[in-house]
C-alpha cells in the first residue's frame, strides 16, 4: 500500500520514511457523569536514527467544583504494530480502532483496564480530502498531517485509576492522530462532544511552513446552528 493510499486508512501506522519523524494517536475517554476524563497518547518519535516509542496519559477529574489534572509519560524499548486489523502496542498497552487495553504504571499515575468503543462516527473521505486537512495532506513537505478517526462514540468498560474503579460505560470518546516531521510550533486546538443535543465540535489552527511559503492550514471551522454542530473544512467538503 502506497503512502498516498494509506492516508485513506489513516488509523494505520503510516511510518513515513523521514530522518526526523513522529506519529501518535490520541484517545480521549469521558465517563457518563463527565467527572473523569482520561486521554491516552501512544506513539513514537525518530531522531538521529533512534526510534523512541512512548505513551502519555492525561487524567482530569472533578472533585466538587474543582478540576484536577495529572499527566505522566513512559518511554518504551519497543513497539509492535499491525495493519489488519489495526493495532499498536507499547509495553503491555494495546490500542486498536475499537478497543484499548491499558497497563500504565508510574509514581503519579496507575491505570489498568480495558475499554471498547461502539457506534463510532467517522468523517467522510474523498480523493480531494483523504483526511480532515483536505488537499494539504498530499503536500510532501507538510510538517504534520492531522486525521480525525472518530468524532464521537460510546464506551463500555472499566478502568482502575490510582486504586479507584471507574466505570466508563455509556460515556463518550473521541480519536484522532498526527504524523509527520514535527508538530506545529504554534497552534490552537479545541475539541468537545458533550452537548445537550448530539454533536461533536473541534477546531484547530496550526501555522505550517511549506518550502519557502507560510501557509495557514486550518481544520474545520465550527459554528452552532440550531443546536447542531456544523463543520466546514477548507477543502469545501461538509459534514453535519
- CA dist 225 and 230 (Å) reads 7
**Cα angle 209, 126, 117; round to 5:** 95
Residue 215 pLDDT: 38
How confident is residue 203, by pLDDT bands cut at 50, 70 and 90?
Answer: low
Residue 35 pLDDT: 96
What is the rounded average pLDDT for all residues in the chain? 79
How confident is residue 104, by pLDDT bands cut at 50, 70 and 90?
Answer: very high
Evaluate if residue 4 carries a pLDDT over 60: no
Residues 207/216, Cβ–Cβ less than 8 Å: yes
Residue 135 pLDDT: 73
Grouping H, G, I as helix, E, B as strand and the rest as coil, residue 148 is strand
Q: In the chain, where are the structural domains located?
A: 3-134+146-183
3-134+146-183 is classed in which CATH architecture? Beta Barrel (2.40)
Chain segment 61-93, per-residue pLDDT in tens: 999 999 999 999 999 999 999 998 999 999 999
Residue 198 pLDDT: 61
Residue 217 pLDDT: 41
Q: What is the C-alpha end-to-end distance of the chain, expressed in Å?
A: 31
pTM as predicted: 0.79
- Give CA separation, 94 vs 41, 80, 91, 115, 201, in Å: 12, 9, 8, 11, 27
Residues 36/9, Cβ–Cβ less than 8 Å: no
Query: Grid coordinates representing 95?
Result: 490500542
Residue 238 pLDDT: 33
Residue 64 pLDDT: 92
Evaluate if residue 237 carries a pLDDT over 80: no
Chain segment 107-116, per-residue pLDDT in tens: 999 999 999 9
In DSSP terms, which residues pair with 58 in a beta bridge?
Answer: 39, 71
Kindly report the backbone phi and psi dihedral angles of residue 38, in degrees, each rounded to the nearest multiple of 5, phi listed first.
-130, 140
Chain segment 156-191, per-residue pLDDT in tens: 999 999 999 999 999 999 999 998 888 767 767 677
Residues 144/180, Cβ–Cβ less than 8 Å: yes
How confident is residue 227, by pLDDT bands cut at 50, 70 and 90?
Answer: very low
Residue 16 pLDDT: 84
Average pLDDT over residues 12-16: 88
Residue 17 pLDDT: 83
Grouping H, G, I as helix, E, B as strand and the rest as coil, residue 8 is helix
Kindly report the backbone phi and psi dihedral angles of residue 75, in degrees, each rounded to the nearest multiple of 5, phi listed first.
-95, 145
Q: Where are the alpha helices (DSSP H) in the chain?
A: 3-6
Amino acid at each position: 500500500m502506497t503512502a498516498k493510499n494509506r492516508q485513506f486508512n489513516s488509523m494505520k501506522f503510516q511510518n513515513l520514511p523521514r530522518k526526523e519523524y513522529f506519529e501518535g494517536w490520541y484517545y480521549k475517554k469521558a465517563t457518563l457523569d463527565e467527572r473523569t476524563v482520561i486521554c491516552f497518547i501512544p506513539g513514537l518519535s525518530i531522531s538521529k536514527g533512534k526510534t523512541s516509542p512512548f505513551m502519555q496519559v492525561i487524567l482530569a477529574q472533578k472533585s466538587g467544583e474543582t478540576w484536577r489534572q495529572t499527566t505522566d509519560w513512559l518511554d518504551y524499548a519497543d513497539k509492535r504494530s499491525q495493519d489488519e486489523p489495526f493495532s499498536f502496542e507499547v509495553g503491555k498497552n494495546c490500542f486498536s480502532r475499537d478497543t484499548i487495553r491499558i497497563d500504565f504504571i508510574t509514581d503519579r499515575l496507575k491505570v489498568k483496564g480495558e475499554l471498547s468503543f461502539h457506534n463510532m462516527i467517522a468523517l467522510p473521505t474523498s480523493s480531494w480530502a483523504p483526511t480532515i486537512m483536505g488537499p494539504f495532506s498530499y503536500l510532501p513537505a507538510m510538517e504534520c498531517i492531522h486525521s480525525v478517526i472518530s468524532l464521537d462514540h460510546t464506551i463500555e468498560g472499566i478502568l482502575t485509576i490510582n486504586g479507584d474503579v471507574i466505570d466508563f460505560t455509556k460515556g463518550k470518546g473521541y480519536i484522532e492522530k498526527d504524523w509527520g516531521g514535527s508538530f506545529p510550533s504554534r497552534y490552537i486546538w479545541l475539541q468537545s462532544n458533550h452537548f445537550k443535543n448530539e454533536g461533536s465540535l473541534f477546531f484547530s489552527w496550526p501555522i505550517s511552513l511549506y518550502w519557502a511559503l507560510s501557509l495557514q492550514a486550518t481544520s474545520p471551522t465550527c459554528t452552532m446552528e440550531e443546536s447542531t454542530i456544523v463543520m466546514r473544512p477548507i477543502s469545501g467538503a461538509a459534514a453535519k
